[in-house]
Chains A and B, each alone.
Chain A
Amino acid sequence: MKKIEAYLRPNCIGDVINSLHEIGIEGISLTEIKGYGQQKGHVEHYRGAEYTINLLPKIKIELFIKDTQVSSAIKAITKAAQTGEIGDGKIFISPVEEGIRIRTGETGETVI
């Protein structure tokens, strides 16, 4: 069992969900977040005075998948979220020790 965290552009989230659906991944959690990366935001003007927008709005999705689904999930997210420009985001994968369905108490990959 693996956990995927992906930091994405807010406007691509509909495509990402659709393409995950297509490969049979059936549940995600989504959080609206703000953050900055290597570029540390950008300079704008308000009433002629400069200011830096250094926290940009992003979407974080979290999903738990079977080990066999990892490469197809990465392909699905990348296909939907890639523009080739700076700011497309990142995907992180980590192992998951255990999962438990609260309603029934069952454990293992079947809870996904």
Chain B
Amino acid sequence: MSNYFNNRHIGSWLLISLILVLLITSTAFAANDPNGSATLKQDPNSAVNYIWVLICGAMVIFMMTGFAMVETGFTRARHANNTMMMNLMVWAVGGLAFYFIGFGLMFGGVGGMFGSLDKLLTIKMFGHSWGLLGAKGFGLGNSVYDVSIFLLFFFQVGFLDTALTIPSGAMAERIKFSTYLVYTFIAGAFIYPLFGNWVWGGGWLSQLGQIGLGQGFKDFAGSSAVHAVGGTMALASAIVLGPRIGKYIKGKPVAIPGHDLGMGVLGTMLLIFCWFGFNCGSTFAATDLRFTVVAVNTLLAGCVGGMAAMIYMCFSSGKPDTSMSCNGILAGLVAITAPCAYVPTWAAVLIGGIAGILVCYSVYFVENRLKIDDPVGAVSVHGVNGLWGTIALGLFADGTYGNVKGLFFGGGFGQLGAQLIGALTLIIVIFSLSYLLFKLLDRTIGMRVSAEEELTGLDVPVHGAVCYPEFSISSSLSITTNNTTIPNSITIEKSKN
């Protein structure tokens, strides 16, 4: 029961700090347009642009359905309720964290078409001023009461949810639910917005162009800011948590098949659909017809990623593995997310193909060499391929959009340099911050459930109900290696009337 008391304390503590933040938030009025009429008058195109971003934003938020289905399908039935709940509540908690704190830190100084978001904390170095963090827009108060800013918030909240939900796959089947919610809030309020500001909020990575590094660090829709950040946090969380009981026997990894591969495949298909909102919506305007190029590149990279992974698995283990084919498609999509607006189609095919192979190698490497248990491959799909996509932009950008030129299109090492600096910064900053956070959570409220709860399944101990109460769930296999048998089956009896 101490679990729940802990929860309550954390809840009230968070509530008090949020109210304080709201009170501190400046309430000064600026030239805002809260009802939208002035915005529409000034630019009649804003109607079509706003509806474009709204629909794409809703598609991005719908990605949580895909993530929930992939993660739950690829893990075991006894934890299904818990895995679903993590994917559900990340939206609620993450959205609020972004509202109260994260949005202000990330976009408080983005300026441009969001006029009153004009507070960027900067530092002077090398004769230039560099953005570090935004400082306006906390709690979407009166000072930012403007339709364009609300549109930006709505669109960005889905990206945040995506980044935050990625580690839930790596932590599945053994993370304490209360700890997971605390992680969600802190990462959504501080860790994600930090790197997000440097890339999209006018921060220093996006300003690398002022010292001659191409157009500055570019990430069109979030290979780095969303996927690699999520994947890196997933790596840190899986290291701190340790492998599931029975995953390694005498140092050898044991396959723990998911309970519903069909659900995982459907989830992947949903993610494919939503990805077109994710990438195409990042034009942030329906009048920017470049989104056609974005859509085609996204599609091609996904296709090739899935093909490459499937063929690779056929050669390496004899059969076209379903879950790795899903991972391959997702890897292709993750990798093309940053460069999708900047590269020609042949480069999209190449980027997706490399991503499909890379994800297979990476899953093997993480599981067999690093001995890190990542049940759904979050680190390999989102982390490794997020970084690959980020770097690929610096290689293949062809200069037809935003004058971004990669190494192979006469851009020299400038753009590539910016991309490498961004990728390196991400690994160092996000990994150390999230590792620190998870270590801290582990020392204080604890990261991991008890062995007993883990073995019987988290559904009943944590949520009071199993996901499939009217089915007798008994796995067709028990895992056997070197005379050690771990029963992989439980039977859930129907409750008595």
Any A CB within 8 A of the CB of B480:
yes
Closest Cβ neighbor of A41 among chain B residues:
B477
Residue B127 CB within 8 A of the other chain: no
| Interface presence of A47 (CB below 8 A) | yes
The reply to whether the CB of B37 lies closer than 8 angstroms to some CB of chain A is no
CA–CA, A51 and B364, complex, Å: 15
Q: Which residues of A contact B255 (CB under 8 A)?
A: 45-47, 49-51
A52 at the interface (CB under 8 A from B): yes
User: Within 8 Å of chain A (Cβ to Cβ): is B92?
Assistant: no
Instruction: Give Cα A46 to B327, complex, Å.
Output: 13
Which residue of the partner chain B has the closest CB to A51? B255
Q: Shortest Cβ distance from B156 into chain A, in angstroms?
A: 33
B14 within 8 A of A: no
Identify which of B254, B360, B478, B479 contacts A48 (C-beta below 8 A).
Answer: B360
In the complex, are the beta carbons of B318 and A45 less than 8 A apart? Answer: yes
Q: Which of A53-61, A75-83, A98-106 contacts B (4 or more CB under 8 A)?
A: A53-61
Known: A45-B318, A46-B321, A46-B323. A51 touches B257 (CB 8 A): yes
The number of residues on chain B lying at the interface, defined by a beta carbon within 8 Å of a beta carbon of chain A, is 24
Q: What 1/0 mask marks residues of chain A from 16 to 58 whose CB sits below 8 Å from any chain B CB? A: 0000000000000000001000000100011111111111110
Over the window 443-478 of chain B, the binary record of Cβ atoms lying under 8 Å from chain A Cβ atoms (1 yes, 0 no) is 000000000000000000000000000000010111
A45 close to B319 (CB less than 8 A):
yes
Report the Cα distance A34→B477, complex, angstroms: 9
Across-interface contacts of B193 in A (CB, < 8 A): none
Known contacts A54-B478, A57-B476: does B316 contact A46 (CB below 8 Å)?
no
Q: Please, what's the 1-or-0 string for B99-119, where 1 marks a CB less than 8 Å from any CB in chain A?
A: 000000000000000000000
A49–B243 Cα gap in the complex (Å)? 15
B480 → chain A closest CB, angstroms: 6
Decide yes or no: A51 and B477 within 8 Å by CB, A45-B255, A45-B317, A45-B318 being known contacts: yes
Given contacts A45-B319, A46-B323, contact A52 B480 (CB under 8 A): yes
Chain A, residue nearest B319 (CB) = A45
Known contacts A47-B323, A47-B377, A48-B316, A54 near B480 by CB under 8 Å: yes
Q: Kindly identify, within residues 195 to 227 of chain B, every residue whose CB is under 8 Å from any CB belonging to chain A.
A: none
Complex: A51 Cα to B479 Cα, angstroms: 7
| A49 CA to B377 CA, complexed, in Å | 13
In the assembled complex, how far is the CB of residue B493 from the closest CB belonging to chain A, in whole angstroms? Answer: 17
B476-A48 in contact (CB<8A) = no
Closest approach, in angstroms, between the C-beta of B231 and any C-beta of chain A?
17
Give complex CA distance A46, B480 in Å.
Answer: 15
Other-chain residue from B323, B363, B476 in contact with A55 (beta carbon distance below 8 A): B476
A45 to chain B, nearest CB (A): 4
- With A53-B477, A55-B478 known as contacts, the answer to whether A48 contacts B257 (CB < 8 A) is no
Judging by beta carbons under 8 Å apart, are A34 and B476 in contact? yes
Cβ of B253 within 8 Å of any chain A Cβ, yes or no, is: yes
Bound CA span A45–B325, Å: 13
CB-CB < 8 A to A52: which residues of B? 477, 479-480
Chain B: minimal CB distance from A50 (Å): 7
- For B323, what are the chain A residues with a Cβ–Cβ distance below 8 Å? 46-47
Q: Could you tell me the distance between the alpha carbons of A20 and B257 in the complex, rounded to whole angstroms? A: 38
Give the docked Cα–Cα distance between A52 and B254 (Å): 10
Asked if B324 lies at the interface with its beta carbon under 8 angstroms from chain A, I say yes
Tell me, rounded to whole Å, the shortest Cβ–Cβ distance linking A58 to chain B: 11
Q: Is the CB of A47 within 8 A of B477?
A: no
- A51 in contact with B254 (CB, 8 Å): yes
CB pair B254–A49 under 8 Å, yes or no, is yes
Contact B313–A48 (Cβ < 8 Å): yes
Residues of chain B within 8 A of A34, CB atoms compared: 474, 476
| Residue B367, interface by CB 8 Å | yes
- A56 contacts B476, C-beta separation under 8 Å: yes
A48→B364 contact, CB < 8 A: yes
Look across to chain A and name the residue whose beta carbon is closest to the beta carbon of B74: A47
A54, B253: Cα distance in complex, Å: 18
Give the residues in chain B near A54, CB-CB below 8 Å: 477-478, 480
B10 to chain A, nearest CB (A): 35
Cβ of A60 to closest chain B Cβ, rounded Å: 16
- The 8 A CB mask of B304-347 against A (1 = contact, 0 = none) is 00000000010011110101100000000000000000000000
Chain A residues with Cβ below 8 Å from B360 are 48
Nearest B residue to A46 via CB reads B255
Bound Cα distance A100, B323 (Å): 53
Q: Which residues of B contact A51 (CB under 8 A)?
A: 254-255, 257, 477, 479
Known: A54-B480, A55-B477, A57-B476. A49 touches B319 (CB 8 A): no
Across the interface, name the chain A residue whose C-beta is closest to B253.
A49
A-B contact pairs, 26 of them (CB 8 A): A34-B476, A41-B477, A45-B255, A45-B317, A45-B321, A46-B256, A47-B255, A47-B323, A47-B324, A47-B363, A47-B377, A48-B313, A48-B316, A48-B360, A48-B363, A48-B364, A49-B367, A50-B255, A51-B254, A51-B255, A52-B479, A52-B480, A55-B476, A55-B477, A55-B478, A56-B476
**Extra inter-chain contacts (13) besides given A45-B317, A51-B255, CB under 8 Å:** A45-B319, A46-B256, A47-B255, A47-B363, A47-B367, A47-B377, A48-B313, A48-B363, A49-B255, A54-B478, A54-B480, A55-B476, A57-B476
> Which residues of A does B touch, CB under 8 Å?
34, 41, 45-57
Top 5 A-B pairs ranked by shortest CB distance? Answer: A51-B255, A45-B317, A49-B255, A46-B255, A46-B257
